[in-house]
């Protein structure tokens, strides 16, 4: 897989939410809503240290998790409720946890220096 830009992430989020089918494009209204959600979600995750990348170059290891996290923030706006809403939100929580795990794995370990007295 290649890195994603904002438009790739937008399309993936709208597909998860059932707004877009294969080969369809987002309306300008949907694009604005989802792009804002992508920027907000990225800022939240970056503040926590879970998104060490820019939205113009989302790496393949984080794409599914980031998509699910963003979709969970938009599910109510796009009319999801009940069991479907709970499933989308659970996927969003799992996505955030997976991003944290993946980033932690990619960070170099801290070197500890032991001094004997």
Q: Is residue 26 part of a domain?
A: yes
pLDDT at 2: 87
Distance CA 59, CA 23 (A): 23
The residue range of the domain holding 68 is 6-105
* Token duo for residue 58: 């989302």
pLDDT at 104: 87
Give me the residues of the chain with pLDDT under 70, please.
Answer: 1, 107-114
* Token duo for residue 54: 């820019």
Is 103 in a helix, a strand, or coil? Answer: helix
Q: Is residue 47 part of a domain?
A: yes
- Which run of H or of E encompasses 41? helix 28-47
Is 58 in a helix, a strand, or coil? Answer: strand
Q: Is residue 113 part of a domain?
A: no
How many domains does the structure of the chain reveal? 1
* Token duo for residue 91: 């996927």
Q: Is residue 111 part of a domain?
A: no
- The model carries a pTM of 0.86
pLDDT at 112: 60
Q: What is the pLDDT of residues 57-91, one digit of tens each?
A: 999 999 999 999 999 999 999 999 999 999 999 99
Burial class (CB in 10 A: 0-12, 13-18, 19+), 35: middle
Q: Is residue 20 part of a domain?
A: yes
Q: Is residue 13 part of a domain?
A: yes
Q: Is residue 110 part of a domain?
A: no
């Amino acid at each position: 897989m290649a890195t994603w830009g904002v438009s790739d992430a937008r399309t993936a989020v709208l597909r998860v939410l059932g707004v877009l089918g294969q080969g369809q494009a987002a309306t300008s209204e949907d694009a604005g809503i989802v792009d804002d959600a992508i920027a907000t979600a990225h800022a939240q995750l970056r503040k926590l240290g879970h998104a060490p990348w820019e939205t113009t170059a989302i790496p393949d290891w984080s794409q599914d998790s980031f998509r699910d996290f963003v979709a969970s923030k938009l599910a109510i706006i796009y009319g999801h409720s009940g069991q479907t809403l709970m499933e989308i939100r659970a996927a969003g929580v799992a996505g955030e946890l997976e991003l944290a795990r993946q980033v932690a794995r990619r960070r170099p370990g801290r070197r500890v220096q032991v001094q004997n007295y």
